[in-house]
Structure 1
Amino acid sequence: METVKQVNENEKEKPSILGMIGSPSAQFVKMRYNPAFAMALTIVTGLFIIGMWLTTFTMDQIYEGLDLSGEELDIAILIGKVTAVITGILSAGLGALFSSVILLLIAKIVRSGVTFKQLFSMNIHLMVISALGLILNTAVGIAIDQSSTIYFTSLAGVLNSDSAVLGSIELFSIWSAVLLGFGLQKTADFSKTASWVVVILTLLFSVGLAFMGTLFTGLTS
Structure 2
Amino acid sequence: METPIDQQPRPVGKPSMLGIILEPTKQFERIRENPRVALPLILLLVAFGLVGTWTGFLSADSPTTGSEVPVWLTVGMAAIVMALGVGVALLLTSLFHWLLTLLFRGEASYKQIFSLNTHLYILVLLSMIVTYTVASLTDVDPLQPVAPTSLAAVIDAKGFIGGILSGIEVFALWQLVLTAMGLSVIARISRGKAWTAALIIFVAGLLIAGATGAMTEFTQQMQGMNGG
CA distance in 1, matches of 2:215, 2:81: 24
Q: Secondary structure at the match of 2:174?
A: helix
Q: Secondary structure at the match of 1:146?
A: coil
- Whether 1:155 aligns to 2:154 is no
Q: Secondary structure at the match of 1:141?
A: helix
AA at the equivalent of 1:170: E
CA distance in 2, matches of 1:149, 1:6: 55
CA distance in 2, matches of 1:176, 1:61: 32
CA 1:91–1:128 in 2, change beyond 3 Å: closer, same or farther? farther
Match of 1:18 in 2: 18
Greater shift in the superposed pair: 29-38 or 211-220: 211-220
CA RMSD, aligned part only? 2.4
Instruction: Check whether the contact 1:164–1:210 (CA below 8 A) recurs between aligned residues.
Output: yes
5+ residue gaps, structure 2, are 1-5, 223-228
Match of 2:3 in 1: none
Instruction: Check whether the contact 1:49–1:89 (CA below 8 A) recurs between aligned residues.
Output: yes
Please list the CA deviations of residues 72-127 of structure 1 after superposition, one character each: whole Å capped at 9, or x if unmatched. 2x34x544322211123324433222122112211221111211111111111011
Give the structure-1-normalised TM-score. Answer: 0.83
Match of 2:140 in 1: 146
Match of 1:168 in 2: 167
CA distance in 1, matches of 2:134, 2:213: 25
CA 1:181–1:7 in 2, change beyond 3 Å: closer, same or farther? farther
CA 1:136–1:193 in 2, change beyond 3 Å: closer, same or farther? same
CA distance in 2, matches of 1:144, 1:171: 20
Match of 1:96 in 2: 90
Tell me the matched-pair count.
Answer: 210
CA distance in 2, matches of 1:27, 1:7: 21
Match of 1:56 in 2: 56
Give the structure-2-normalised TM-score. Answer: 0.81
Percent same amino acid among aligned pairs?
28
Please list the CA deviations of residues 190-215 of structure 1 after superposition, one character each: whole Å capped at 9, or x if unmatched. 21111111222223212212222334
Instruction: Check whether the contact 1:20–1:126 (CA below 8 A) recurs between aligned residues.
Output: yes
Please list the CA deviations of residues 14-59 of structure 1 after superposition, one character each: whole Å capped at 9, or x if unmatched. 1011101100111001011111122211222222122212212321
Match of 2:225 in 1: none
CA distance in 2, matches of 1:146, 1:218: 17
Match of 1:126 in 2: 120
Match of 1:28 in 2: 28
Greater shift in the superposed pair: 133-142 or 92-101: 92-101
CA distance in 1, matches of 2:217, 2:153: 21
5+ residue gaps, structure 1, are none
CA distance in 1, matches of 2:176, 2:189: 15
CA distance in 2, matches of 1:81, 1:190: 43
CA distance in 2, matches of 1:107, 1:144: 43
CA 1:142–1:215 in 2, change beyond 3 Å: closer, same or farther? closer
